[in-house]
Structure 1
Amino acid sequence: MFRSFAGDASGELSKELRHLVKRSDQSTYERYGTQTPVMQVVLQQILQCPYQGVTKRVYLESKVWELTALVIEQETQIFQGFLEVYPLRPSEIDCVYHAKEILLKNHDNPPSLIQLARQVGLNDRKLKLGFRSVFGTTVFGYLHNYRMELAHNLLIQGHMNITEVAQKVGYASLPSFSNAFRKKFGITPKSCHR
């Protein structure tokens, strides 16, 4: 099916996509790419599918194709040289994930980049490169996306007012929070608050 979508009339894939299909002599297929925040959202939507029956099947299939499109776009950018991939050792990848956990745990008062790098045993340059390689964004870009998604969910739940939500996600200034929220979602916090 992938060949019929991404291949030419005979089903042949372009050079930049051939490695995405397991060869007959491979026992398993593995791809070491960057899981971007957008990909993570799609994966969460797959895991938290709200539908049943045929609707669930259509929804999940559409999400798999959406994830496939994101992977193809990333592979094309890598092949064309628009996106650099930094090879990381497994221990460095573990450090990057540990840094992510520290950021999320302290999202309302995160450590500086230097402090975070020291806590996980990397230098700041390696942490920045690692974050971009593993998550497809900067360290604080990842944190910002997390804060905004958390704020959006808290506002929809309606158990906290907008000022409380802003403080919960680490904003001391309500106007700064409102601007960041509007920039991320295209709406004001008030318009999605219940």
Structure 2
Amino acid sequence: MLSSGTPTLAGHYGFYGSGMAPGGTYQLLGQEHLDVRVHISPELFRSFAGNLDCELPPELQHLIRPYTQTYYHHIGITTPTMQAVLHQILECPYWGISKRLHWESKVLDLLGMLVVQEVEMRDGNHPLHSLKPDIRERLHRARELLLQRLDNPPTLIELARLVGLNDCTLKRGFREVFGTTVFSYVRSHRLEQARQLLQIGDMNIKQIAHLVGYADPKSFAIAFRKQFGLNPKDYRKKRKYSV
């Protein structure tokens, strides 16, 4: 019932309900594409309702349709938190039953995030299309500037000035479009940069921590483990033996 049933662009997710799949074929040409798919039966999904009748709340009932109706689907942008959970699934350090329990817990984390967004959209608290096109363009420009200056990102007020927005519009709009705060976005991408540097192996962990903006290696290790499920030393060791 929950699946990325058709290929999605990098950085996007597909959330699908049960029902009849429409006809058609899908191709991604000239692209390397990693597609993580999770399928949950309608019966299991209903069991999370928390009541004796396993009845879903009204704002989620559209997710389960009879097989004579086309299924519901929604394409969205993966947030840094979603990306972190996906990394924890792909880089699982456990084996046997521990690995299965780890995977199941992370899948439930993802499901919870998707359901929260779904409920917010149904309640009108997540107005995906409320921003004008020119403001969306400025928000995407703000993201580009952050990625270009990860080592020394601008302050919120400076970033707002650079893209021609006030700081309130920048904060609200950035969260609406990218699903996270400016601060969380920078932190997530700094840690992703650190993960890639750990894979290369040319720098020690303290050097990497300083390069991505952490003066204290211990704080870096805590943040890295929270995002990827392993501390930097164990992650590097695991990658070394898996190559």
Into which bin does the TM-score normalised by the smaller protein fall? 0.5 to 0.7
Task: Decide whether aligned partners of structure 1 residues 79 and 93 sit closer, same or farther in structure 2, where only a CA change above 3 A counts.
Answer: closer
Of 167, 182, 185 in structure 1, the residue corresponding to residue 222 of structure 2 is 182
Is 1:36 aligned with 2:76? no
Q: Which amino acid aligns with 2:211?
A: K
- Does the CA contact (< 8 Å) of 1:7 and 1:14 recur in 2? no
CA distance in 1, matches of 2:64, 2:164: 36
1:110 is matched with which residue: 146, 150, 153?
153
Q: Secondary structure in 2 aligned to 1:140?
A: helix
Deviation at 1:67, TM superposition (A): 6.0
> TM-score of the superposition, structure 2-length normalised?
0.54
Q: Where does the alignment leave 5 or more consecutive residues of structure 2 unmatched?
A: 2-17, 19-41, 48-54, 66-71, 91-103, 238-243
Determine what percentage of the aligned residue pairs are the same residue.
42
By percentage of residues, which structure has more helix?
A: 1
**Superposed displacement of residue 100, structure 1:** 1.1
Q: Helix, strand or coil: the match of 1:116?
A: helix
Residue pair 2:199, 2:236 contacting (<8 A) in 1 also: yes
Conserved 8 A contact 2:150-2:190: yes
TM-aligned CA deviation for residue 183 of structure 1: 3.5
Structure 2 CA distance for aligned equivalents of residues 189 and 43 of structure 1: 17
Matched, 1:153 2:196: yes
- The structural deviation recorded for 1:144 is 0.5
Native 8 Å contact 1:96 1:127 kept in 2: yes
Report how many aligned residue pairs link the two structures. Answer: 175
Task: Judging by fraction of residues, say which structure has more strand.
Answer: 2
User: Letter of the aligned partner of 2:143 in structure 1?
Assistant: K
Query: Matches of 1:123 and 1:170 in 2, distance apart?
Result: 26
Q: Does 1:143 align with 2:186?
A: yes
Tell me the distance in 2 between the aligned counterparts of 1:152 and 1:178: 16
1:97 pairs with one of 140, 154, 162: 140
Q: CA deviation at 1:89?
A: 1.9
* Contact map agreement 1:182 1:189 (CA 8 A) in 2: no
- Scaled by the length of structure 1, what TM-score is found? 0.65
How much does 1:131 deviate? 1.6
2:212 equivalent to 1:169: yes
Counterpart-to-counterpart distance in 2, 1:130 and 1:13: 31
Cα separation, partners in 2 of 1:164 and 1:118, compared to 1, 3 Å: same
Deviation of the 1:106 alpha carbon: 0.5
6 and 79 in structure 1: CA distance in 2 versus 1, 3 angstrom threshold: farther
Task: Note the C-alpha offset of 1:127.
Answer: 0.7
The reply on whether 1:193 has 2:233 as its aligned counterpart is no
After superposition, the C-alpha distances for 1:66-92 in whole angstroms (9 at most, x for unaligned) are 86664223213x1697x9425322222
1:9-158 correspondence to structure 2 within 5 Å: 14-18=57-61, 31=74, 35-40=78-83, 70-76=113-119, 78=120, 84-86=125-127, 87-158=130-201
Contact 1:103-1:143 within 8 A present in 2 as well: yes
